[in-house]
Amino acid sequence: MMRVQCSQVEKMNWELKSRTTLAAVNGLPLMSDLPAHEDKFQEGADCCFQSALLYTTVDGHRRIRAQFTYLLKTGSEIAFDTAAQGMPVSPLSQVREQTIRQCVQSLFSYRKFCATASSSGQLILPECLKLLPLYTLALTKSVGLRQDARVDERAYWLMRATSISASLAIPLVYPRLFSVHNIPKLDESSLPPTLPLSSENLDPEGIFLLETGEDAFLYAGKAVSSELLHQLFEVRSVNEVIPGQFLLQEYDNEPSILLNKMVNEIRRQRCSYLRLHLLKQGDPLEMMFHSFMIEDKSGLGSSYVEFLVYVHRQIQHSICKNYVLANPFYSRRCKTLMFFTTMKPQIPKTSDFPLDMVEDLHPYPHGFTFYFSMSKKSAELSGTEL
């Protein structure tokens, strides 16, 4: 039996909806809950969580393990679990939209309540949330939320997403990409720096390793030197490479030793054997490898740069709506009308509404701006009902 208590919380949303006996509890499963607080947090006050687990050892002793944690507020891991929970009961498009909406709302709340005064044309990404848009885009392109994924693949992804730890959830959504052809000499427990998941980093003369936490893919470009191919796979050309699952051998040369050390370290971190697959440029299986290039524009969605622009415009849209509703001038003396149009916004000169907020607010193909009707007469002339 497990019980979680928290300070300054009104209610909590658990994956386990009733009092249930937990089976096979160890250090790997992840149980998440969503605390909801309807009041304002005290200035400088920490949020304290207490979890108590009642269990029986193999010797028949009844024990209670209690843990106390002081945490800051975050929503990235909860967004991952929320998407996994919504998949069986909601359309995939609705789950993707809800995931993006949570990202926009988090960044808008930071901009509204935490960020210092700055230009509205800037996208403010704090240190703790700078990767939130990237992981959100990666989640919408993952196997679980893709339209072209098979049912069994989606079911397996859902099973993993609801049971793995937070450290394993990251590569499930955003895999790691390493360069193999120029591995530096590192310590036994160190890995080379990762590369962004973009096709621009795939050099035809290089070999790359992509790991998802459960599988690893070795991708060989079409112009890889014959010497490197012989050192790693004992073949002389890319045409001799046989795509598919294979067993990595260690040969008596430096590139092979470094590659085996890197693969063994990844396996140690993931606590799994990490199945290896060999791919080459121009092979039909190359499409599967490129589906992991999250930051590229493809049939799965927009590129990372385009997604940042979209998130920025949605935040600007929220800022404009919040400004209009909070401004006494508009709330007392006029009614605000929002039209989806490409017309220039007609804003009174006496207004202090920042013009740069209504510039470039088009998340839709033809864009939209705000048009303010200042009287009932002008609304009647435009055929709009107040």
The larger pLDDT score, comparing residue 360 to residue 230, is at 230
Pairing of strands 215-220, 275-280: parallel
Q: Provide the domain limits for residue 263.
A: 175-290
What are the backbone dihedrals phi and psi of residue 378, each rounded to the nearest 5 degrees, phi first?
Answer: -65, -30
> Does the structure show a pLDDT above 80 at 262?
yes
Last residue of a domain, one of 171, 200, 235: 171
Tell which of 265, 290, 315 closes a domain: 290
Q: How confident is the model at residue 77 (pLDDT cuts 50, 70, 90)?
A: low
Q: Are residues 191 and 224 in the same domain?
A: yes
% residues pLDDT > 70 (the chain): 67
Which is higher by pLDDT, 52 or 85?
A: 52
Q: Ranked by mean pLDDT, which of 25-29, 267-271, 302-306 comes out on top?
A: 302-306
Phi, psi of 277 (to 5 degrees): -125, 135
Residue 318 lies in a domain: no
Residue 147 has pLDDT above 80, yes or no: yes
> Is residue 74 scored above 50 in pLDDT?
no
Q: 204 falls in which pLDDT band (50, 70, 90)?
A: very high
Q: Which whole number is the average pLDDT over 229-244? A: 90
Q: Is 138 a domain residue?
A: yes
pLDDT computed for residue 279 by the predictor: 93
The answer as to whether 272 is a domain residue is: yes
* CATH for 81: 1.20.120.730
Most confident of 72-76, 142-146, 379-383: 142-146
The total number of structural domains that make up the chain = 4
- Which of 113, 138, 171 terminates a domain? The answer is 171
pLDDT over threshold 70, residue 251 = yes
pLDDT class for 217, splitting at 50, 70, 90? very high
Quick check: 234 pLDDT over 80?
yes
**pLDDT number for residue 290:** 92
Q: What is the rounded average pLDDT of the residues 70-75?
A: 54
pTM for the model: 0.67
Tokens at 122, concatenated? 């800037």
Nearest residue to 268 (alpha-carbon basis) of 211, 344, 204:
211
Is the domain of 164 the same as that of 184? no
What pLDDT does residue 9 have?
53
Where residue 184 sits, what CATH number does that domain have?
A: 3.40.20.10
| Range with the poorest average pLDDT among 1-5, 148-152, 203-207 | 1-5
Q: Is residue 308 one of the residues assigned to a domain?
A: no
- State yes or no: pLDDT of 171 exceeds 70: yes
Q: What percent of the chain has pLDDT over 90?
A: 29
In a domain? residue 317: no
Task: Specify the pLDDT at position 343.
Answer: 39
What number is the average pLDDT over the span 27-46?
60
Picking from 54-63, 117-126, 371-380, which range would have the lowest pLDDT averaged per residue? 371-380
Q: Give the tens place of pLDDT for each residue, 316-365.
A: 888 887 766 666 555 444 444 343 333 333 333 333 333 333 333 223 23
384, 350: one domain: yes
List pLDDT tens digits, range 114-144. 777 666 667 878 888 889 999 999 999 998 8
pLDDT score for 323? 65
The verdict on 183 and 166 lying in the same domain is no
**Mean pLDDT confidence for 301-322:** 89
Give the pLDDT band (50/70/90) at residue 58.
confident
What is the average pLDDT value for the chain, to the nearest integer?
75
pLDDT range class, residue 28, cuts 50, 70, 90: low
The verdict on 126 and 198 lying in the same domain is no
Whether residue 179 is found in the same domain as residue 219: yes
259, part of any domain = yes
